[in-house]
Structure 1
């Protein structure tokens, strides 16, 4: 595994939406009649993080904030991203543009900004998003560290406000809110955590850890907390980030490569602050949720589950969060992988998709998770998903997800 963690030097954290957009009512509609027709159904290790090392600055002034922007084939969006950072009302920062062997004109766009002394441009062999973030973090020199994805943009007062909050509370980790921008058309939505701001201390930290591990069984104010595991949703004290060996995984081997790193960060944070500002604009593409196909999705999400489980064990939290984590596997791994099988971009025909569905149902981890009754206390959509995933036979599961995926695409296309 490319992502793990070390415990040395430690004094002792599209997680994406639980279902795709508008899924609850679709699941409920597909289940009506489906279960009328159905008969009753029969009931690892990783290597440690490579710690980052602090760099000497050779007497040069150290910026207060380092912003790492991984760049890969974003020629269309990079200008907007960089301009929003250079227009900050807070000027004491460095911007690291790290090109990950883009095949379009992204590197040329980045080089246009080389005139600004705050901008550093790097060109590296392709290694994926996690590797590119790690590369930038190793070369950052600021007191605080931020990550911004190259197709997104930020508010002009983001750095000023986050720096002021971090200094006032002497925070290791600052979490903030964001605006979800619809890339497929007009419309945006402010996404906030259901807290009183600013929230400082252990109570908020424990609540975020719980949400990163898995969902609440019952509906509540945290049910719609989205993108909580994203690297870009927090600012880190860089010395603390380095000392704890925080790093991101290889997205070619693990999906949601920033989730385990974010969980680990929250587990070891001594001074956590959550602020109310929605400073980050996240470009969200609803079409990709129902149409994008990702080969080996189940295996890559299983790898993410296993790594999170290992982190929880190392922190003495595995038993406390076991049921929530198994619920995450059912919703975010098994359910989404079955939807993935029926993507129109899946080149497989009937036989190939049948094998994919059958392979998912044979997962020992799925069988373990399906034995949990945690989701039986949840919404009707949760109970339907739990019922379907408990089925041992490929045919009814194949039929359910074939119908469900078609309905999801139609609903998404209508907006």
Structure 2
């Protein structure tokens, strides 16, 4: 699976194919190169730290990190594009046997597909090769500000919730692996994702200087997000209290709904993002 904006180093895929055949893998997960076209900077995102570790335990940790953040240690913590389909090579028969399909969603449709795939896989291989070149572009659909973003995130939350509720996950008997992928642990991670990334991104989106609406409407959009029943539910049960300083700050703002402080922070943060060449949120 390759996005139209990106490119691949075909020669490096031979190493991935060799790994897949050697390990009889359903999925091979590998690194990538992140290229920022606007400032001409490339960054390697590899998996050197996980090569040689138990792949069943790694798969459990990867599943958990794809669902959402937690205080538990993980070699994938903080790494981007964990749910991106282009970071994987899939065995075609495995996809067909498990009837794995992309959902009909306009946003982050890779994530539920990748999550279901790793939950169904009996054998996942991890490779440090970086054949995929992801090209960041502020004009692409991924980075454009858009209306209806929050509702799209809510649909994605429900889709992921349904997946983890009905999943039978293939993992080792390792107790450490199991604590990553219990239903309760995954639900807390999903709640944390909804606050830390979905609600946070929607608040940024509502305050962006180039977002085509009035300031009154932006304020109303902030209130809608903060008062949303799903947001109120998620702030009660997540692991963000044990997260980083930025995690705890975002949780505090969204949990306590102090409008002047929240609006001031997100107005500043949106302006900072707009004036920066770094698009990472």
Q: Which category of TM-score, normalised to the shorter sequence, fits these structures?
A: 0.7 to 0.9
When the two chains are superposed, the root-mean-square deviation of aligned CA atoms in Å is: 2.4
Q: CA deviation at 1:220?
A: 6.5
What secondary structure, in the 3-state scheme, does the structure 2 residue paired with 1:346 have?
Answer: coil
- Residues 1:338 and 2:203 aligned together: yes
C-alpha distance in structure 1 between counterparts of 2:207 and 2:142, whole Å: 9
- 8 A Cα contact 1:198 1:273, kept in partner: no
- 8 A Cα contact 2:71 2:239, kept in partner: yes
Q: CA deviation at 1:287?
A: 8.0
- Residues 1:276 and 2:128 aligned together: yes
Q: CA deviation at 1:222?
A: 3.1
- 8 A Cα contact 2:33 2:133, kept in partner: yes
- TM-aligned CA distance change 1:288 to 1:218, over 3 Å: farther
- Partner residue, 1:176: 30
Q: CA deviation at 1:246?
A: 0.9
- TM-aligned CA distance change 1:218 to 1:286, over 3 Å: farther
- 8 A Cα contact 1:198 1:275, kept in partner: no
- Partner residue, 2:231: 366
Q: CA deviation at 1:289?
A: 10
Q: Please state which structure has a larger fraction of its residues in helix.
A: 2
C-alpha distance in structure 1 between counterparts of 2:127 and 2:273, whole Å: 35
Flag structure 1 segments of 5+ consecutive residues without an equivalent: 1-146
Q: Which digits, 9 at most, give the CA deviation of each residue in 1:239-262, with x for residues without a partner?
A: 11011111112233xx21110110
- Residues 1:250 and 2:115 aligned together: no
Relative to the length of structure 2, the TM-score reads 0.87
- Partner residue, 1:201: 55
- 8 A Cα contact 2:192 2:238, kept in partner: no
Q: CA deviation at 1:291?
A: 7.2
- 8 A Cα contact 1:193 1:225, kept in partner: no
- 8 A Cα contact 1:329 1:369, kept in partner: yes
Runs of 4+ in 1 over 4 A off after TM superposition: 218-221, 286-291
What secondary structure, in the 3-state scheme, does the structure 2 residue paired with 1:412 have?
Answer: coil
Flag structure 2 segments of 5+ consecutive residues without an equivalent: 169-181
Relative to the length of structure 1, the TM-score reads 0.60
Q: CA deviation at 1:412?
A: 3.2
Q: CA deviation at 1:174?
A: 0.6
- 8 A Cα contact 1:174 1:273, kept in partner: yes
